Structure 1
Amino acid sequence: MNDHKKSNAMPRRQFVAFSGAIGAATLLTGTGATESAAATTDPGPGEPTYGSCPTPPPGGGANPCPPAQMQPLCGKPTDDDPLWHDVRYCTNGTVPPPPQPKPDCLRATPNYVVLHGKPENQHNYLLLPSCRITGIECPFLENPASANYWNDAWQNARSGGSVPVQYADIGLGINSQDARHFHQLHIHMAGVRPSTQRRLQELESMGRMATQPAHWADPANQASVSGPPGAGDRTYRILRLPNLTQNLFALLSSNVVVPNGLNMAHQTLIVVPKMTATGFANAFYVLNSDTSLHGGTSTCDYLLVYK
């Protein structure tokens, strides 16, 4: 994480917590933390600058956050997690406890913040909810009231986005509870290898991926994709979507996890925008895996490029 000049701190924000099953609402104070902690050096020559932090968010207000009843699974605002401390600083100016340095807040909105990942470069960023959400296991993510963090990540990472990933092919990913290092939900915004993009397009041409969420878990839509040299192949369930308007967490739960008696906490999700010589091809490959698959994995790190 980078130290930086502190501008006008955004006042402490309260979120109206949504409780779908119970119908009760409580007020939760926004705070936060991340997995790949931000680097501790200033941006190098030629790297983009994004202004000071905290950044006052645009109007429109925040989406609801998990209600108090979900805190055993989704985390409490008082939790001690480095990434959550980073989110709190970016959203309301609460300085992280020493020796944790202040993060470099690249973007702050009512619903999320964007930080550097490690190592710090122009193709390794993190998007984190402004709500206290530990990770993929939080059931509130499947709620229609939850923010669409995947689409938010794409809108930031794409060419022309607020914090664009400077890499030929972009990948977005989230690790399972087992594989992550920090316990504030964070979507990695990084690169993917050209071989990954080619492999996914090859599988699409072979009809080896689902085009409807209901068929996502079918064995015919499971295929191996190579990781970095020497890391071997991993097996993924692959779904092709025309956009990211649907709730990917809800799609994964209802079409893969629940029907197969799996645990949401063990899942990894990866989104790879389809790219051609002319640019983005208006489609997304959505990959899911866990260790219940032969050759499966619970981490997105085999496919994303951080260095």
Structure 2
Amino acid sequence: MATVLLAACSTPPERMAKAAAPRENPDILWHFVHDQCTPAASQGRYPPAPCVEVTSAQHPDRGYAVFKDRTGAHQYLVLPLARIPGIESPLLLRPDAPNYLADAWTARMYTEAALHRTVPREDIALVVNSAHGRSQNQLHIHVDCVKPTVRAALRQALPQLTTRWTTLPMRLPDAQGDRYIARWVGGAQLSINPFKSLAQFLRDPAQMQWHSLVVVGAQRADGQPGFVLLSTRANAEGSHGNSDDLHDRSCAVAFEPDRG
């Protein structure tokens, strides 16, 4: 079936939709990580409050912190220890850049701990919002449950997805009408760097600022584990490139009747 890729052409910034003005200090997450969590970890304090985990505190260019988000009972944030404003940062595309989304996939254990149960990989989504769809200027990856309707739509689309980015054949439910591109990544662990994959598809790294990036655990019908990568774009029609609406803060998928 023929597919039409989302246009990656540049749109003048003055025509782009603007996110609502942040209601708080846009650097508050950076100050938590840099001024509190990292020093606490360096001093051997555990947990390194206000974070729940800090890795490689002595090597901030590679380490990350896990922070309990105030949104949702089960949502956590994964943040680099290095100063990285967001998805648009060239630091994410360096040859030696850490795979922060792989780190966030590992950190899903905190969401599972909050749920008091292990959940299938299909139930977890990682979300990074665009530069125009976020309120904080430190890269932060939201880790939480995916909406049941989104999970069902991705199961339906999965047979058509390959390792090439392509437009999803349907609009995702509960996604405010945003159009998504998607690709498949095989393997139980996230072996590729999704930031680099999206940038290579867009060809112009400057376009990254307009895009969100989502990683959803998946499993093909033959049992092969993997991931679906998703991205939507801020545009003049009102989208801010924000994919938070793919998350379900109640985590209904974890409490389905057949889960026990």
TM over 0.5: yes
Match of 1:104 in 2: 50
Q: Is the 8 A contact 1:126 1:186 kept in 2?
A: yes
Q: Is the 8 A contact 2:26 2:137 kept in 1?
A: no
- Tell me which of 185, 195, 199 is aligned to 1:241: 185
Counterpart residue number, 1:198: 152
Does residue 188 (structure 1) correspond to residue 142 (structure 2)? The answer is yes
Q: Show CA shifts across 1:61-120 (max 9, x none).
A: xxxxxxxxxxxxxxxxxx9810011112111149xxxxxxx9531111011000111225
More helix as a share of residues: 2
The aligned amino acid for 2:244 is D
Q: Secondary structure at the match of 1:180?
A: coil
Q: CA deviation at 1:281?
A: 5.3
Deviation at 1:201, TM superposition (A): 0.9
TM-score after normalising by structure 1: 0.60
Cα pair distance change 1:183/1:233, threshold 3 Å: same
User: How has the CA–CA distance of structure 1 residues 262 and 289 changed in structure 2, closer, same or farther, with 3 Å as cutoff?
Assistant: farther
Residues 241-280 of structure 1 aligned to structure 2 (within 5 Å): 241-243=185-187, 244-258=190-204, 263-274=207-218
Aligned to 2:96: 145
Match of 1:224 in 2: 171
Shift of the 246–269 alpha-carbon distance from structure 1 to 2, 3 Å rule, reads same
Q: Which ranges in structure 2 are unaligned for 5 or more consecutive residues?
A: 1-21, 42-47, 57-62, 251-260
Aligned with 2:107 (options 135, 152, 156): 156
Structure 2 residue corresponding to 1:115, chosen from 67, 78, 84: 67
**RMSD of the alignment, in Å?**
3.2
Residue among 78, 84, 92 paired with 1:127: 78
Match of 2:231 in 1: 288
Write the distance in 2 (CA, Å) between the matches of 1:223 and 1:85.
Answer: 40
Q: Give the count of matched residue pairs.
A: 207
User: Quick one: distance in 1 between partners of 2:104 and 2:203?
Assistant: 23
Identity %: 29
Long gaps (5+) in structure 1:
1-34, 38-78, 95-101
Is contact 1:226-1:234 (8 Å) kept? Answer: no
Q: 1:173, 1:269 within 8 Å by CA — same for their partners in 2? A: yes
CA contact (8 A) 1:234 1:297 kept: no
Partner of 2:38: 91
Matched-pair contact (CA < 8 Å) for 1:135–1:184 = yes
| 1:63 alignment counterpart | none
Whole-angstrom distance in 1 between the partners of 2:170 and 2:237: 10
Post-superposition Cα deviations, 1:135-189, rounded to whole Å, max 9, x if no partner, equal 01101101121111111111120xxx35536366111000111111111100000
Q: TM-score, normalised by structure 2?
A: 0.70
| Structure exhibiting the larger radius of gyration computed from Cα positions | 1
- Which one has a larger percent strand, Structure 1 or Structure 2? 1
User: Shift in Å at residue 292 of structure 1?
Assistant: 4.7
- 4+ runs of 1 displaced by more than 2 Å? 161-168, 231-234, 291-297
Residues in 2 aligned to 1:108 and 1:142: alpha-carbon distance in whole angstroms: 22
- Tell me the SS of whatever aligns to 1:226: coil
